[in-house]
Amino acid sequence: MSRLRLALVALLALSLPAQADNTAQTIVHMLDYVSVDYPEFVRDGKVLDKAEYEEQLEFASQSAMLLAKLPAVPQQARLLVQANQLKARIVAKAPGPEITALAVALRWDMIEAYGLAVAPRTAPDLKRGASIYASHCAACHGAQGRGDGMTGKGMEPAPSDFHDAARMGQRSVYGLYSTITLGVTGTGMTPFGHLDEDERWALALYVATMGQSDERVVKGGALWQAGTGKKEIGTLRAVATLTDNDVHARHGQDVAAAFAWLKANPQALATIKEEPIAYSRRLLGESLAAYRAGKRDDAQQLALTSYLEGFELVEASLDTLDRNLRQEVETQMIAYRDLLRRGAPIKPVAQLAERIDGLLAASAGKLGHSGLSPTTAAISAFFILVREGLEALLVVAAIIAFLLKSGRREALPWIHAGWIGALALGGATWLAASTLIEISGATRELTEGITALLAAAILLYVGFWLHGKSYAHAWQAFIDRHLSAALRGGTLWALAGVSFLAVYREAFETVLFYQALWHQAGTGGHSSVIVGFLCGIAVLAVLAWAILHYGLRLPIGRFFAACSALMAGLAVVFTGHGIKALQEAGLVSAIPWGDFNLPVLGVYATAESMLAQLLVLLVLLATFFWSHQNNGNHRKPN
């Protein structure tokens, strides 16, 4: 009982708001013990060990009490009901398996509701675990982990024997990790929270493997190499949270053997990548937990990584399935990061995180449906190309039309070099990104943002320049006299540059989208993707032809005006896209403004992107009126 009293003191000390994270973890830890120990002490409605039984009861009461004090989360009411039910069933001396099931369920719901990290970030290093064990633990637990160390002699309770298969079979690595972190109050097992997280995971895994038979591990290795268990237990999370008994009961002997091998060889998991959305959800949970614990910078970093290294990778595929959902996730993730940046109260932050988690789950559901139908694959391929290519096409076609109209054919090669070079470079960037260098999500967004803003700036410049010309009087004379000179200088570079930027920006992204689609469509769907692609090319070609054909028939003044209006419009659109990309890279803040998006116009509902667009619009309007007046003044004398 002294063990219990001390536990209470420790728990009360933990229940300060700043340590909400610790409190939640403590509850989880207690529930873990209830699920493992209760069945040992109560059989057929009879209490076999009164002190132990009372301890389990106290753990359940404590869990309910501490739970009520935790910061509010939407699931809290339901968790409290579960905790009180657990307590009531223990009072009623319910059968062991029932209590275990209740405790395990509550424990998992707690982990999820409070976003507790239940798995190591990287595969633990068992060698490191072995050496820390020898220096810190062997004195009590014995060199071989049989609970027979010199210092541990005569301790009550005795140090655990890690070869006790019956008990170890019920303990997850996460459970052992919690014991190592928090200790068992009132026993010789003091907390080892001062060791860093990696060291504690290494110890937990090392301890978990001590009692495993070599023969079984070897057999499990062969099974794992042959593909057994990849689906069921092939994540660090599974290795950390499942018990031997769970795996055996759910998946049978072979997967259980593979599980044993995996615990002894966790580095085998380093090469298996976590599914991107699962990764996003995990990191989002960790971000929320970090925020709860007052670690704002960590929370922000985790939120950003959650987006860029997880969701963003499947964005392209999701986009072809459900564009609105994709946008919603993106918008909400930006809003979430913004809340963190502004240090918002925990409640709205947690609510938003839960909402995003639901959206991510929905996305995973959408993506999980195996394969795309041939029609969907073709339609997706078509829309990807038209959507990504349209803006670029408008820019390039307008420039070409302009050069033809002004009789400047010799300048065309510059423009062609611009967009063809951009296509080639876009392809090369993709190739490099998928083979040579790791281009992080942040770098990708940064490139996209900078090229978009640069293109917007050049478009503005070219638009002004054209606009100025559209008021000239004697057109032919003007072209003959001035344009040649003007085109020789910086403007020619600007035109070639904008044709390059407009295309490069889209090229790299389009290839990424296609890569995802190609992968998703499966071998059977590849021909559909190609058909969709060719249809897209055809539509873009017709559009280019129409712009050139009809554009060239316009009277020259109106043509110049139309051209400059188009460029001005595109400058506004590009500005929106550019700011958005920089927000995704985490470089620009994102204050939500309403709840609508119009990607075609580059309009996203954040203050920063819309203000930037507004600014560009104002500049456009100002110069428009200014040049109107100037030209008016010029005209009067005539």
Q: Pick between residue 102 and residue 176 the one whose CB is nearest to ligand HEC.
A: 176
Residue found by looking up tokens 């109560």 in the block: 42
Q: Decide if 179 contacts 168 (C-beta within 8 A).
A: no
Contact yes or no for 334/583 (Cβ under 8 A): yes
Q: How many other β-carbons are positioned within 10 Å of the β-carbon of residue 2?
A: 9
Q: Which is nearest to 262 in space by CA: 205, 211, 210? A: 205
Which residues are CB-contacts of 361 (< 8 A; sequence separation ≥ 6)?
A: 281
Distance CA 425, CA 120 (A): 39
**Cβ atoms 219, 234 nearer than 8 A:** no
Are the beta carbons of 494 and 458 closer than 8 angstroms? yes
155 vs 420, beta carbon nearer ligand HEC:
155
List of residues 6+ apart from 381 with CB closer than 8 A: 514, 517, 528, 529, 530, 531, 532, 533, 536
Quick one: 119 or 155, whose CB is closer to ligand HEC?
155
The residues binding ligand HEC (CB under 6 A) are 136-137, 139-141, 151-152, 155, 157, 159-160, 167, 171, 176, 179-180, 184, 187-189, 192, 203, 207
Q: Which of 113, 112, 67, 114 is nearest to 86 (CA)?
A: 67
- Total Cβ atoms within 10 A of residue 300: 19
Question: Which CA distances in Å does 573 have to 315, 494, 495, 521?
Answer: 21, 19, 18, 31
Q: How far is the CB of 584 from ligand HEC (least distance, A)?
A: 42
CB nearer ligand HEC, residue 148 or residue 232: 148
Distance CA 440, CA 304 (A): 12
Give the torsion through C-alpha atoms of 228, 231, 233, 238, to 10 deg.
170
∠ CA 194-200-205, rounded to 5°: 165
Distance of alpha carbon 547 from alpha carbon 401, whole angstroms: 8
Q: Are 210 and 144 in contact (CB under 8 A)?
A: yes
Instruction: For residues 514 and 526, give the distance between their C-alpha atoms in angstroms, rounded to a whole number.
Output: 11
**Rounded CA separation 167/161 (Å):** 9
CB of 54 to ligand HEC, least distance (A): 15
In angstroms, what is the minimal distance from the CB of 79 to ligand HEC? 24
* 107 vs 113: CA distance, rounded Å: 10
In this structure, what token pair is assigned to residue 136? 């810190």
**How many residues comprise the chain?**
638
Residue 114: CB minimum distance to ligand HEC, A: 22
Smallest distance, ligand HEC to C-beta of residue 168, A: 7
> Among residues 151 and 225, whose Cβ is nearest to ligand HEC?
151
Q: How far is the CB of 103 from ligand HEC (least distance, A)?
A: 15
Measured from the CB atom, is 200 or 467 closer to ligand HEC?
200
| Nearest-approach distance from CB 191 to ligand HEC, in angstroms | 10
User: Cα(21)–Cα(171) distance, rounded to whole angstroms?
Assistant: 22
| Shortest Å, Cβ 140 to ligand HEC | 3
Instruction: Name the residue nearer to ligand HEC (CB basis): 187 or 351.
Output: 187
C-beta closer to ligand HEC: residue 29 or 326: 29
Of 139 and 486, which CB lies nearer to ligand HEC in the complex structure?
139
- What the block records as the tokens of 409 is 């054919």
Q: How far is the CB of 178 from ligand HEC (least distance, A)?
A: 9
Nearest CB to ligand HEC, comparing residues 242 and 581: 242
- Residue 167: CB minimum distance to ligand HEC, A: 5
In the complex, least distance from residue 289 CB atom to ligand HEC, rounded to whole angstroms = 23
| Least gap, CB of 63 to ligand HEC (angstroms) | 17
CB of 150 to ligand HEC, least distance (A): 10
Residues 6+ apart with CB under 8 A from 296: 290, 340, 343
Q: Is the dihedral of CA 587, 591, 596, 601 positive or negative?
A: negative
Q: Looking at beta carbons only, is 157 or 522 nearer to ligand HEC?
A: 157
